[in-house]
């Protein structure tokens, strides 16, 4: 009885895994990047990996513009307010583009444009 239960559970697990895998592949063919996700990932990238990581932070996004996706990638232009981490009263406005790539485990920032590269 125990062996039979194990086989049923294993078969159910493989079915769920198979269905989930099919869903992930299908999702990667037609990805949709929401503005909320784009803002979250862009801010995280800017704050932790960008050229100003550890020195400046994104306070808020002011404008955005999405380009047409190409091959599971999309370029998004942002205008945002930044703050100097050591003096939060020192702020400014900048614009940059970010390139996002959709992979099986979700969206990733693969490129951040230079200062004033964004055109929202």
**26-82, pLDDT tens digit by residue?**
233 346 899 999 999 999 999 999 999 999 999 999 999 999 999 999 999 999 999
CATH number for 32-120 (one of 3.40.630, 3.10.450, 1.10.357, 3.90.1720): it is 3.10.450
Every domain of the chain and the residues it spans: 1-30, 32-120
Confidence label for 17 from pLDDT (cuts 50, 70 and 90): very low
Strands (E), the chain: 56-66, 73-84, 87-103, 106-112
Confidence label for 20 from pLDDT (cuts 50, 70 and 90): very low
Confidence label for 13 from pLDDT (cuts 50, 70 and 90): very low
Ramachandran sector of residue 11 (left: φ over 0; alpha: ψ -120 to 50; beta: rest): alpha
Is a pLDDT exceeding 80 seen at residue 110? yes
Q: Give mean pLDDT, residues 20-26.
A: 32
User: Looking at 84-88, 90-94, 95-99, which range is the least confident one?
Assistant: 84-88
Q: Considering the chain, what is the average pLDDT of its residues?
A: 80
CA dist 81 and 85 (Å) reads: 13
């Amino acid at each position: 009885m125990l062996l039979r239960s194990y086989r049923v559970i294993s078969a159910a697990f493989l079915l769920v895994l198979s269905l989930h895998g099919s869903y992930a592949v299908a999702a990667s063919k037609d990805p949709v990047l929401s503005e909320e996700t784009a803002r979250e990932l862009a801010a995280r990238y800017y704050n932790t990996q960008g050229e100003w990581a550890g020195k400046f932070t994104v306070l808020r996004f002011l404008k955005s513009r999405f380009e047409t996706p190409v091959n599971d990638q999309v370029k998004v232009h942002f205008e945002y307010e930044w703050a100097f981490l050591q003096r939060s009263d020192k702020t400014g406005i900048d614009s940059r583009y970010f390139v996002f790539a959709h992979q099986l485990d979700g969206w990733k920032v693969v490129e951040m444009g230079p200062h004033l590269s964004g055109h929202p």
